[in-house]
Amino acid sequence: MTQIDFICGESHFCDHAAPIWHALPPENRGVFIAAPGLVARGPELGIEVTAHTRGRRDNPAFVASWGDVQTARRSGRTRIARIEHGIGQSYAGDPESQAAVHESYAGGRGQEGVGLFLAPNEHSADRWRRAYPTASVVTVGSPPIDNLPAYERDGEVIAVSTHFDARVCPETRSAFPLFKDAFVELSKHRRVIAHGHPRIAFEVSQWARRNGIEFVPSLREVQRRAAVYVCDNSSSMYEFAATGRPVVVLDLPEGRIKGIGYRRNVNHGLRFWDAADVGVRIDDPADLPEAVRIALVDPPGIRQNREKALDVVYAFRDGNAALRAATALVEWAGQEAAVAA
């Protein structure tokens, strides 16, 4: 029986990998390896996590990022499977840009040696198939939305969040600099909590502390507590929308910050722009209070748009994404083992 080792370098990668680990038959579980600072998350994940690269190097490795593909390679792994750690967003709408083939996104370069790609939707899956025609690609949905936490209503909590400022292309830039003052103003009239992508979490937490706003690092806690989620470009807003609650989508208008903004004439798919209407969309901080008011009402048209967007980013929402992923992973590992023998 082939055992599969998991390798996770960041906390949000663990969140995508852990449900699949639990869905694996116990005999297929190898070692769950994480960065040293993540070992303490083991009890929360219900997994024995190790920071050591022990285990058999000939075991297949399962990862959730390009960085962990590199880690697997450095540890001598030659059989690697990768799942998206989000909605599979890519930035190929401008084919002349290096963003079109960036390693971090679906269909990107640098994935040689990955034999299995697990995708949340057909958009992402098609990108992997075209880039790596000899690899197996399976559309499974997104494991983190299989078991979303129940809503613990505590008044009308508004969560504000942002992706980190990735300087890959205009659409990967953060809208936080434009909207952060509006967040503070909103907090004077509504109960606001703050969240952020792990790579901007410290900056957001310090900003929140200075402005008397509670910072909540756990996305699942945000999902439990918030009535509305406000964000710019992150898979987290689709995960939140999958709870059935409303989202406010922040667009960064072209030229607003140092000549940078989200280009309306460049369609990358998914967030830009096929599934952008997952919530009330604004590109002016002055519109934030009204957008939140509308989101709290959650009128039928907004709900319908949300469902349409979720159907684009998640091929399945049946609660079986982790099982689907685990099944594909075990089948692939078994085939790889047979070839190696």
Helices 11-23, 321-340: crossing angle, 10 deg rounding: 80
Q: How many residues does the chain have?
A: 341
Tell me what pLDDT residue 337 has. Answer: 65
Report pLDDT for 223: 98
Low-confidence residues of the chain, pLDDT below 50? none
Instruction: State residue 53's pLDDT score.
Output: 67
Positive or negative: CA dihedral 94, 273, 231, 285: positive
On whether the CB atoms of residues 305 and 299 are closer than 8 A, the answer is no
Are the C-beta atoms of residues 247 and 231 closer than 8 Å to each other? yes
CATH of region 4-146+319-340 = 3.40.50.2000
User: Is 3.40.50.300 the CATH classification of the domain at 157-313?
Assistant: no
Residue 184: its pLDDT value, please? 98
Same fold yes or no, 4-146+319-340 and 157-313: yes
Render pLDDT for 59-91 as a digit per residue (tens, 0 to 9): 999 999 999 999 999 888 999 999 999 999 999
pLDDT of residue 261: 93
Distance CA 323, CA 93 (A): 32
- How confident is the model at residue 268, as a pLDDT? 98
pLDDT of residue 75: 87
Element (H, E) at 250: strand 247-250
Q: What sign has the CA pseudo-torsion 18, 23, 26, 30? A: negative
- Write out the H or E segment, with its range, that includes residue 114: strand 114-119
Domain ranges of the chain: 4-146+319-340, 157-313
- 190-203 confidence digits (pLDDT tens): 999 999 999 999 99
> What pTM was estimated for this model as a whole?
0.95
